[in-house]
Each structure stands twice: as structure tokens, then as C-alpha cells.
Amino acid sequence: MSKVCDITGKRARVGNNVSHANNKTKRRFYPNLHTKKFYIPEEDKFITLKVSTTALRTINKHGISAVLNKARKNGNVLV
């Protein structure tokens, strides 16, 4: 299962671990993802999405229906 947000499209980024001696080794920065179930009253069903905490805040602010419509228009949502 990939570590990509279904709403925002956030995915893992690449960076460096930097030691005290300034040695650099590759590492990955993962998004803060949570698997969450949402109820959509228009479709009268539940859907499960893997969303980042930023997407959760957006859903709380605008509502799940508006966020899903915008994400579908951008091509991010798989459902």
C-alpha cells in the first residue's frame, strides 16, 4: 500500500540525515497519514480514505462532499 494522501496527493519526499560530523545519508520524509472512514450523505454510504492531517483539517473546514468534488476534479481521489 502506497503512502500517498487520497485527497491532497502528498507523498514521501527524499532528504538527508546529517550527522554531527556532517556525513549525509539518504532518508525519506513520510506524510502524516491516517486511514479514516467518512460518511457521504448524498450517496448514503461510507468510504474509507487514507488522508493526511492537512486533508483532515480541510475536510473539517469545508465538508467531505466539497473536498471530494474538488479532489475528483483534480484527479486525486481513487473512490
Please give the CATH architecture assigned to the domain spanning 13-74: Roll (2.30)
What is the residue extent of each domain of the chain? 13-74
pTM: 0.81
pLDDT digits (tens, 9 = 90+) for 10-32: 999 999 999 999 999 999 999 99
pLDDT digits (tens, 9 = 90+) for 36-75: 999 999 889 999 999 999 999 999 999 999 999 888 888 7
Cβ burial of 68 (10 Å; 0-12, 13-18, 19+) is buried
The answer to whether the beta carbons of residues 5 and 50 sit under 8 Å apart is yes
Q: Give the start-end residues of each E strand in the chain.
A: 13-18, 24-29, 33-40, 45-52
Query: In terms of DSSP bridges, do strands 33-40 and 45-52 run parallel, antiparallel, or are they unpaired?
Result: antiparallel
